[in-house]
Amino acid sequence: MMNSDPVCILLASTWTGGEKLLFRYPNSVKNAESRDVLAILSNHYYALKPSLTPSYSVCNESGLSSIKNGVLVGFEDPVLANLLLTVNTHICTHKYEIKINDVLFVGYSNKLCKKKTLEKQESLSIYFNVVFALRSNVDPYFIDVYQDLSQQISHAIIHEESRVGYLSVEKQAILELHELHNGEPNELHDRVSVESSIGRFLKKVFEDVTNKGSVDTYLNKWIRVSHCINPRLSRNMTSYYNNNNINNNNKNNNNNNNNQSMINNSNNNINNN
């Protein structure tokens, strides 16, 4: 795993009456460190501070490690939901970053406003964050790149919500899965990654940027999301496929030349006879 690879992708949302970490991939095992992280949050050992870019940082120096074997650990779902959603009022429609221990959460916060209906006379606001968890010592270049990808995904979700109510439908379906798997987050997120359209999409995004250094796919089979994370890895993959094509073409040309030689030899034998 490269230092620039994400360790996790997350989707969190808050609305009137609730907040949830809707999805995380890959899963992590629950352990005692989550209590330590929760203590850090509850004791306010961190503070929002504006950076030079339109983003925000949350920092602490607890000395805990939250990445083991390339996987995010020590953060239970409620802790992550609280961590990622608390800052929404400050950073809506902005990029941001949050540092806890050796993990840097980078993303883009956005807001959906559902209009009044005959049944509901109040407009409804839904905040949601698309977040990548990175190593805290990652090169600043990749922080910007992942924030840009989060923003692109966020805008795609907004578009699909206005077109077909995409996030509202997906959120409700995921919440129903939450009720079925209360207390079993790993099993829950496994099912979301299979049964939910947005879960499958986010899983593919994570795997593509990790394996290929880029992503080029469609949200809800409609909106294209295309982004290059690691140009060097992408170039290597392109070179690999191009070299394979060249080798295959050379093999085909050699086969054609051999076949032509056989035909010519046969014709010569016929003429000699």
Supply the pLDDT for residue 90.
64
Supply the pLDDT for residue 115.
61
Whether residue 137 is contained in a domain is answered as yes
Q: If you ran DSSP here, which 8-state letter would residue 29 be given?
A: -
Tens-digit pLDDT profile for the chain (273 aa)?
578 899 999 999 887 767 888 999 998 655 444 444 444 444 433 444 444 444 545 555 555 678 888 888 888 888 888 877 765 556 677 888 888 888 999 998 888 776 655 455 455 778 889 999 999 999 999 999 999 999 999 999 999 999 999 999 999 999 898 888 766 777 888 889 999 999 999 999 999 999 999 999 999 999 999 999 877 654 444 444 444 443 444 455 555 555 555 545 555 554 554
Supply the pLDDT for residue 42.
45
Q: If you ran DSSP here, which 8-state letter would residue 182 be given?
A: T
Supply the pLDDT for residue 252.
52
Whether residue 204 is contained in a domain is answered as yes
Print the domain residue range for 176: 8-229
Supply the pLDDT for residue 195.
92
Supply the pLDDT for residue 63.
59
Q: Are 41 and 70 in contact (CB under 8 A)?
A: no
Whether residue 1 is contained in a domain is answered as no
Supply the pLDDT for residue 19.
80
Q: Which residues contact 8 (CB under 8 A, 6 or more apart)?
A: 24, 25, 26, 28, 71, 72, 132, 133, 206
Supply the pLDDT for residue 247.
47
Q: Can you tell me whether residue 203 is helix, strand or coil? A: helix
Q: How distant, in Å, are the alpha carbons of 37, 73, 102, 227, 252 from that of 64? A: 9, 11, 7, 32, 57
Whether residue 236 is contained in a domain is answered as no
Whether residue 197 is contained in a domain is answered as yes
Q: Can you tell me whether residue 216 is helix, strand or coil? A: strand
Supply the pLDDT for residue 50.
42
Q: How distant, in Å, are the alpha carbons of 22, 36, 119, 153, 221 from that of 225? A: 20, 37, 35, 7, 10
Whether residue 144 is contained in a domain is answered as yes
**In angstroms, rounded to a whole number, what is the distance separating the alpha carbons of residues 30 and 23?**
15
Q: Are 48 and 56 in contact (CB under 8 A)?
A: yes
Whether residue 237 is contained in a domain is answered as no
CA dihedral 192, 196, 198, 203 (to 10 degrees): 50
pTM, two decimal places: 0.75
Number of domains in the chain: 1
Whether residue 261 is contained in a domain is answered as no
**In angstroms, rounded to a whole number, what is the distance separating the alpha carbons of residues 108 and 112?**
13
Q: What is the 3-state secondary structure (H, E, C) of 37-53?
A: HHHHHHCCCCCCEECCC
